[in-house]
């Protein structure tokens, strides 16, 4: 019987080849959704869909762009925000 945690939607079912030679389904933790701009909702580039363990073992520079509002706003919204701040 499938464990309750595997029915929560946090896991996804994947087909893996087991040592016995047959193919069996296994449960794998699902990756997070793509990051989106906080202003316009556009998908952000440069943000990998790391799992928690992968993100924990990755440097900060690998997880978001090296610019102000990196990882939160897209470049266009960031420019517009900076220009607005300096008006």
Partner 1 sequence: MALFDIGRLCVKIAGRDAGRKCVVLSTEKDGMVLVDGETRRRKCNVRHLEPLGETLKLKADASRADVTAAFKKLGIELRDTKAKKAAARPKRVRKKKAAKEPEEKNAAKKPAPKEPVKGPEAGVKSPEPVKEPEKGAPVPEPAKKESPKPAAKPDPARAGKKESEPAKPAAKPKTAKPAEKA
Q: What beta strand segments (E) does the chain contain?
A: 11-17, 23-29
Q: How far apart are CA 65 and CA 75, in angstroms?
A: 10
Is 61 near partner 1 (CB under 8 A)?
no
For position 59 contacting partner 1 by CB under 8 A, the verdict is no
Task: Based on the shown chain and the rule CB under 8 A, indicate whether residue 83 belongs to the binding site for partner 1.
Answer: yes
CA-to-CA dists, residue 17 to 1, 14, 26, 28, 46, angstroms = 21, 10, 9, 14, 32
Task: Tell me the β-bridge partners of 26.
Answer: 14
Binding of residue 51 to partner 1 (CB under 8 A): no
Q: Which of 48, 55, 75, 77 binds partner 1 (CB under 8 A)?
A: 75
| 5 contributes a contact to partner 1 by CB under 8 A | no
Which residues of the chain form contacts with partner 1 (CB under 8 A)?
66-68, 75, 78-79, 82-83, 85-86
């Amino acid at each position: 019987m499938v464990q309750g945690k595997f029915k929560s939607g946090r896991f996804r079912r994947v087909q893996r080849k087991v040592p016995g030679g047959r193919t069996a389904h296994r449960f794998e933790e699902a990756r997070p959704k793509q990051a989106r701009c906080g202003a316009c909702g556009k998908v952000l580039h440069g943000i990998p869909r790391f799992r928690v363990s992968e993100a924990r073992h990755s440097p900060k520079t690998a997880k978001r762009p090296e610019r102000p509002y990196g990882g939160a706003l897209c470049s266009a919204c960031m420019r517009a925000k900076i220009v607005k701040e300096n008006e």
